[in-house]
Structure 1
Amino acid sequence: MPLRVQPAPAPALRSVLAALGSPTGLRGNPTPPGPRAGRDSLRPDLSLPVHVLDGITASAGPPRTRLTGWRFLLRDAHGAAGAAEAMLTADGWTFSHFCEGPFVASTETALRRAEALPTTHQPRLLSVPELYMVTLWLHGDTEADAAGGAPAPADLLVPLAPAPPGIAAHHPQRVDGLLPLLTRRLVPPPLLGAPA
């Protein structure tokens, strides 16, 4: 089934386009991704909201998510060459950084596989910084505001490569199955001889 991609805020897209078109927008950032092509041939393609998972080990309630930005896959004539991210500041949406590396190709692979699933989802990215892990979050409510919400138990998470040891990359897992596993990874085991 096709994915229902929500459009990024227009100011976020404009900030990425301005950074691609401005040599001063690249200071402090690596050159735009894709050494195989010049900056002028890169264009933003698919945009995904980026959420961070907070409170995964908190005992008071379920984990929370917060929107941190929108990531745009950048394409050239050969395919995905990298990504650009915009973040929300007090002054509105602004360009944050360019990136390339394994998460870009892994995002494309996960999206292709998600397209083949029997149900329609809204794609998002969910970051778990404590595990240096990023997942493609397939939200079941395709009409939801992409900037909000939390993972529902039946939503799917597709870990992107490289995934932490013992977690299969590109294998969709229900939230209610994967989050407990991630929580156990982050909670230190009790000390030997300590009361339980």
Structure 2
Amino acid sequence: MSKTMLGGDLIVVDDFYDDIEAVRSYALSLEYDPPEMSGHYPGIQSTRPAVSPRLKDLFSEFAGVPLEPADGAVYGNFRVGLEAQVGDVAVHLDHVEWSAIIYMNEAPMDQTSGLSIVRHVDLPRVKVDEALLQELNVADRKEFDRTWVRPSSSDMSKWQRVETIDVKANRLVLLRSGNYCHVVENVFGTDLESGRMTHSFFMDEAQ
């Protein structure tokens, strides 16, 4: 099953991998950086990526534009969010054009989890495009991030949820993430086996 939202900027594809258990087993066999190296976001990240040319082709096909790994960004690493860890950034705007995450496991039955697209309550619309930047008189998305997103990143009273994509094992969420503020909803688990695991890719459109 696939579903397209936000005018083609958000694509959700279920049953993405042919053998999700094999991919997850490989992910569990990898080494992970310690939590203190996780940066602004809660979780631990694999020290090595898992990639294939076919993945880039699939992401490009679903996005409708040719994509390539963004310079200096994560591409193919696994990330595990743990409920005991708290980052200093919640709502954020990626400094790449597209992101793809594949959920590698289910959330607990008694807990919701996922990715929410959000709009700042003081802004007229959700998409951070060139027209909005001009209206706000900010030079680019990095300035928008500094002035609008980070000051209220952890204050959810400043944000309205527009779409939420629930965690479901083997679900791909492909988002034009440089144009939409978003937030991870509720990480879970206490260790590598039970934590919220994703396979993560950050990409730009090919020039």
In which range does the TM-score fall when normalised by the shorter chain? under 0.3
Relative contact order higher in (CA < 8 Å, ≥ 6 apart): 2
> TM-score of the superposition, structure 2-length normalised?
0.25
